[in-house]
Structure 1
C-alpha cells in the first residue's frame, strides 16, 4: 500500500471514529453544549439526536470515500471530486483557527471569548483536511476519474 493510500485509509478510519463520537454525544445534551451545539438545538432532544445522527451519517460517507480512495473498498462515483470537496470542507473549517488564535492572543477583540477547546477542534479539522488533501493529491492519478466506478 502506497503512502497516499495509507493516508486515505487512516483518514477513513478517523472519520468512522468521529462518526461514533458524534453519535455518542447525541445522548448527552451537556456534552453537546460543551462541544459547541447551540442551546436552541440542545433544548429539543429530538432535534439534537436528528442533527447528530445526520452529521454522523455524513462522516460515515466521508469515511467510505476515504476507504475507496485507499483501495480498501470498490471505487465510488466521483471519487476524485468528492475527496477534494471533503478535504476542502475540513480545511475551510480548520482555517477558523487563525481568527481564534488572534482573539486568544489579544490581537483581535471579540464580543465573546474563545474557549481553548474550539482552537483544538479547529486544529484537528485543519489536520484532517490536510490528510484528505495529501491523500487525494498524492493519489490523483490512481483514483477513478469521474462519475464512473472503475475497478
Structure 2
C-alpha cells in the first residue's frame, strides 16, 4: 500500500469515526449545544436527530470515497471529482480558523465570542481537508478511470 493510499485509508476511517460521533451527539442536546448547534435546532429533538443522521450519512459517504481512493473498496463513480469536492468542503470549513484566531488574538474586534473549541474544530477540519487533498493529489494517476485504484 502506497503512502497516498494510507493517507486516504486514514481519512476514510476518520470519516466513519466522525459519523459515529455526529450520530451520538444527536442524543445529547447539551453536547449538541457545546459543539455549536443552534438552540432552535436543539429545542426540537426530532429535528436534531434527523439533522445529525443526515450529516452522519454524508460523513459515511465521504468515508467510502476515501476508502475507494485507497483501493480498499470498489471504485466509486466520479472518484477524483468527489475527492476534490470533499477536500474543498473541509478546507473551506477549516479556513474559518483565520478569522477565529484573529478575533482571539484581539486583532479583529467583534461582539461574537469565539470559544477555543471552535478553533480546535476549525484546525481539525483544515487537517482533514489537507489529508483528503494530499491523498487526492498524490494518487491522481491511480484515481483516474483507467487507474489501478480498485483492489
Are the equivalent residues in 1 in contact too, given 2:68–2:150 (CA < 8 A)? no
Q: Could you list the runs of 4 or more consecutive aligned residues of structure 1 that deviate by over 4 angstroms after TM superposition?
A: none
CA deviation string 1:15-45 (max 9, x = no partner): 0000000000000000000000000000000
How much is the aligned-residue C-alpha RMSD, in angstroms?
A: 1.4
What's the counterpart of residue 49 of structure 1?
A: 49
CA deviation string 1:106-148 (max 9, x = no partner): 00011111000000000000000000000000000001349xx
What's the counterpart of residue 100 of structure 2?
A: 100
Counterpart CA distance in 1 for 2:24 and 2:113 is 27
What's the counterpart of residue 12 of structure 1?
A: 12
The TM-score normalised by the length of structure 1 is 0.96
What's the counterpart of residue 80 of structure 1?
A: 80
Q: Which runs of no fewer than 5 residues in structure 1 stay unpaired? A: none
Counterpart CA distance in 2 for 1:131 and 1:14 is 10
Structure 1 residue 150: deviation in Å? 7.3
What's the counterpart of residue 124 of structure 2?
A: 124
The TM-score normalised by the length of structure 2 is 0.96
Are the equivalent residues in 2 in contact too, given 1:25–1:31 (CA < 8 A)? yes
Are the equivalent residues in 2 in contact too, given 1:16–1:59 (CA < 8 A)? yes
Counterpart CA distance in 2 for 1:115 and 1:135 is 31
Q: What SS does structure 2 have at the residue aligned with 1:140?
A: coil
Counterpart CA distance in 1 for 2:27 and 2:122 is 23
